[in-house]
Amino acid sequence: MTTDWRCRHGSRSSCIKGCSWIMGNGLKFNIFIGRNSQENDVMKPFSYMNADMFAAYVMCTTQDKDAVRLTLEQIDVIRRMCTEYPELEKHSVLILSKMACLISVEGGHSIDSSIPVLRMFYQLGVRSVTLTHNCNTPWAETSSGYYPNFYSKRQNNSLTDFGKAVVDEMNRLGMLIDLSHTSWATAHAVLQRSRAPVIFSHSSSYTVCNHSRNVPDNLLQMLKENGGLIMVNFHSAFIACKQEASISLVADHFDYLRRVVGAESIGIGGDYDGATGFPPGLEDVSKYPALICELLRRNWTVEELARVLRLNFLRVFDSVEKVRNSLLKTPSKNTPPCCRGGALSPSLSPLSWALLLLTLLHPYSSTVISG
Ligand SMILES: [Zn+2]
């Protein structure tokens, strides 16, 4: 493959983040690295790995601009990569002789407030969408303050009617709803709304480390009732709330989460290359055995770890598709009104308003619009 599907951190407005989520085969697993800090260390053996979710990610600065095009380009590269490597299998987690190649879109701004775009992403193989990245969208809130200028003046809009329509449509399509990066209020609203299990694909425990990217206990309880997953993020700032962390502290998150929600609600979401700074000895996915050893030492059972590494994610994926199957006769809806980019807002010039009014009043306008 000739396309450079890697990208250097921060050097492009978009990049693919591989191997955030891992599903090993029981306790035996080896690692595929989509990309890490050593740019040359791109591919490692696939053996024992059954699936990888590649994140198509475009920066928040593309919101209301070219986010859809850039996301499509990311999806294109992932699809080509999955096609050109015979070890990969698109869209399926059932063919165990190959590694499933799944696509996630990380950041709701990538759909540009368009449910048809969401549907087309599904057609292209996207099976998970993180509802926000580090910016608000017109319909959901982020946990981050990085981009305070995006839709910051909304009130009581943690999940607008359009946001609820996005959740409903993801349920209907059979897409995983990912709540990492969303505000707690948005996560709460989604957990109340979604008929299918949801995931926090790369977040840790707020009680162990009080960072806003982590998940507080009240949401964990809702997540357990929902049947979803919290997939532990290994980034030092989310593990220790400072730059130095350790494998032992990561294991503390696992221990705490097991006490609160049980091993059946936990997964792994390392966030390699989504972040910089990881505990010594856990710098990339090849080091996961060190964590597993620590958990075994803390009396985690082989069955619990098999769930964490593989079975929990498969269960959630299966549940999401069962909900989809139950909704098969539910027709797709027209896009409800939304508010992206202040379109149709008073910011339109008087001349633009006049032209728009004339167009709408024109006798052929309905033909023009429907065509
Ligand atoms: Zn992320």
CATH assignment at residue 297: 3.20.20.140
What's the gap in Å between 47 CA and the centre of ligand 1?
26
What's the gap in Å between 138 CA and the centre of ligand 1?
19
Percent of the chain with pLDDT over 70: 72
**DSSP result, 282-301:** -SSGGGHHHHHHHHHHTT--
Place of tokens 């955030």: 20
Count of structural domains within the chain: 1
What's the gap in Å between 302 CA and the centre of ligand 1?
29
**Residue 38: inside a domain, yes or no?**
yes
Percent of the chain with pLDDT over 90: 58
Nearest Cα neighbor of 212 from 242, 188, 187, 183 is 183
**Residue 266: inside a domain, yes or no?**
yes
pLDDT at position 154, please? 66
pLDDT at position 89, please? 55
Mean pLDDT lowest among 6-15, 191-200, 309-318: 6-15
Mean pLDDT lowest among 81-90, 183-192, 230-239, 249-258: 81-90
To the nearest whole number, what is the mean pLDDT of the chain?
A: 79
pLDDT at position 6, please? 31
What's the gap in Å between 96 CA and the centre of ligand 1?
27
Which residues, including other chains, have CB under 8 Å from residue 300's CB and lie 6 or more apart? 254, 258, 263
**Residue 4: inside a domain, yes or no?**
no
Asked if pLDDT for residue 310 goes beyond 80, the answer is yes
CA 26/CA 289 separation, integer angstroms: 12
**Residue 356: inside a domain, yes or no?**
no
What's the gap in Å between 256 CA and the centre of ligand 1?
22
Domain extent, residue 227, equals 14-338
CA 120/CA 7 separation, integer angstroms: 25
What's the gap in Å between 180 CA and the centre of ligand 1?
7
Strand (E) or helix (H) holding 266: strand 266-268
Span 44-80, pLDDT tens digits? 433 455 667 889 999 999 999 999 999 999 999 988 8
Which residues, including other chains, have CB under 8 Å from residue 69's CB and lie 6 or more apart? none
CA 141/CA 81 separation, integer angstroms: 32
Mean pLDDT lowest among 31-35, 129-133, 233-237: 31-35
Using 50, 70 and 90 to split pLDDT, how confident is the model at 86? low
CA 17/CA 91 separation, integer angstroms: 17
Residue 213 backbone phi and psi in degrees, to 5: -80, -10
What's the gap in Å between 134 CA and the centre of ligand 1?
8
Span 322-338, pLDDT tens digits? 999 999 888 887 776 67
CA 270/CA 91 separation, integer angstroms: 22
Radius of gyration of the chain (CA): 21
pTM: 0.79
CA 255/CA 248 separation, integer angstroms: 10
Q: How far is CA 267 from CA 22, 213, 355, in A?
A: 8, 16, 54
Span 329-368, pLDDT tens digits? 888 877 766 765 543 333 444 544 454 344 344 433 322 2
Nearest Cα neighbor of 42 from 5, 76, 67 is 5
**Residue 240: inside a domain, yes or no?**
yes
Where do runs of H (alpha helix) occur along the chain? 67-84, 115-123, 161-173, 184-193, 217-226, 236-239, 247-261, 288-297, 302-306, 312-326, 350-361, 365-370
CA 213/CA 208 separation, integer angstroms: 12
Using 50, 70 and 90 to split pLDDT, how confident is the model at 371? very low
**Residue 348: inside a domain, yes or no?**
no
Nearest Cα neighbor of 342 from 164, 158, 150 is 150
**Residue 42: inside a domain, yes or no?**
yes
Span 252-305, pLDDT tens digits? 999 999 999 999 999 999 888 778 899 999 998 788 889 999 999 999 999 999
What's the gap in Å between 10 CA and the centre of ligand 1?
14
**Residue 1: inside a domain, yes or no?**
no
What's the gap in Å between 102 CA and the centre of ligand 1?
16
pLDDT at position 83, please? 82
Q: How far is CA 4 from CA 8, 163, 284, in A?
A: 10, 34, 21
